[in-house]
Structure 1
Amino acid sequence: MRAEWNPLRSLAGVARFVTWVFGLAALAIVIANVAALGWLPGSGANPTCVDVGGDVGPLREDARVAAGGGSVCVDNPTGTQRIADIGDQVPQALFALGALWLLLRFLRTASDAGPYEASVPGRLAALGWFVLVGGPVSELLFALSVHSLRTSMISGVPSTDWVAQWRAEFPWWALAAGLAALVFAHILRIGVRMPEAPARSGD
């Protein structure tokens, strides 16, 4: 007899593939940043650059405008600049990897045990909270890192520059997706409890 097609299992397979792709990409980003710090054998410190953003003010010592004029770089970055350079790349990659892993965990449980298995609502809620909070936080870390790099290379950068950066890149989709996941988790939790009602009323 032909097995019934389970769309959740297919989605879990897709999520597993995408998670591996993003995992390898995140690992490559981490290795690239560690190599840029000169912590790997045969690697050396590379220039650190940041997008100009608004109008370019007077450059600080050792800073230069990159080819094309869209970025400012330093060839011998300080430790603080290196940390800020990591902060504008790694948090977003880790957020994407974490969200995909939680999505995969939810889909695998729902496809194997059914959507009304007791642990499914909790796993969907975990995904919802992670996306709801993690999306804005990862973009906040990105905005603060970019602001730190700009102020270290350009004079006269407004102290509220990071607010404008965060507002411009704010992940509204993460709020919508996180809230939707939490609503569906609540609905699934009600569905899990429904079979218990007749049993209690018959006692």
Structure 2
Amino acid sequence: MNTRLTKVLASITFALAMICGLAFVGKGVIRMLDDGAICARTGFWANASLAPDSLPVAEGVKASSSATRLCQDAPSVGQRAADLGGELPWLLFACLALLLFSRLLDTVLLKGPFTDAVSQRLTVLGWFVTAGTPLAGLVVGWSHSWLVDSMAPVVGSGPTVTGPQVLILAGLAAVIMGKIMREGVRMREDLEGTI
């Protein structure tokens, strides 16, 4: 096992986790304190030929000529929260996943790669990715849908799940590998006990 490479990788993933955490906090604070307009994209009217003044948008909302971009000049607190809900969940997910991965690598360095502690950490990381991916995608999709609906009440497209849902397969693979490693550790312990 190359411990130097593992140490470097553990340090890099921990640093990336901290950067994502700082970006999460910084973006949240800056966006909540910002009093500017917020915008959302929608594909509802993408193929329609409507005059911009005939669009059924809420008061204070400006629509682009193709009606795919809606901007609210004086957004409510709920609209600001929905705007944040469209951006922050993936940053939080990335921060926590990188932190769990960094802890997994630290455990590999401390106890070795084929131990019960490593298999448990791998299983926890796998379940986090498996459950966190659709949850973050649903929060982002729901926030965006609500924001668009608050600007153009006719749209009402309903919540969607966004983001890279293929990560669910990677999470399930990590869970399976964690279970396989746990069984391998038990078999090795049984073998050492009989010798």
TM-score of the two chains, using structure 1 as the length reference: 0.81
Residue 54 in structure 1 maps to residue 51 in structure 2:
no
Q: Within 5 Å, which residues of 2 pair with 1:109-124? A: 109-124=107-122
TM-score of the two chains, using structure 2 as the length reference: 0.84
2:134 corresponds to: 136
Structure 2: segments with no counterpart, 5+ residues: 47-54
2:25 corresponds to: 30
Kept after mapping to 1: 8 A contact 2:20/2:94: no
Structure 1: segments with no counterpart, 5+ residues: 39-43
- Compared CA separation, residues 17 and 33, structure 1 to 2 (3 A): same
Deviations 1:72-112 (A, max 9, x none): 11121111111111111111100011111111111221133
1:162 corresponds to: 159
Q: Which one-letter code corresponds to 2:185 in the other structure? A: V
Offset of residue 30 of structure 1 = 2.8
Looking at structure 2, the residues matched to 150 and 25 of structure 1 have their Cα atoms a distance apart, in angstroms, of 27
> Identity, % of aligned pairs?
32
4+ aligned runs moved over 6 Å, structure 1? none
Kept after mapping to 2: 8 A contact 1:66/1:72: yes
Q: Secondary structure at the match of 2:62?
A: strand
2:50 corresponds to: none
- For residue 185 of structure 1, the aligned residue among 165, 173, 178 is 178
Q: Secondary structure at the match of 2:40?
A: strand
Offset of residue 128 of structure 1 = 0.1
Looking at structure 2, the residues matched to 12 and 128 of structure 1 have their Cα atoms a distance apart, in angstroms, of 21
- Compared CA separation, residues 67 and 127, structure 1 to 2 (3 A): farther
Offset of residue 171 of structure 1 = 2.9
- Compared CA separation, residues 151 and 190, structure 1 to 2 (3 A): same
- Compared CA separation, residues 9 and 119, structure 1 to 2 (3 A): farther
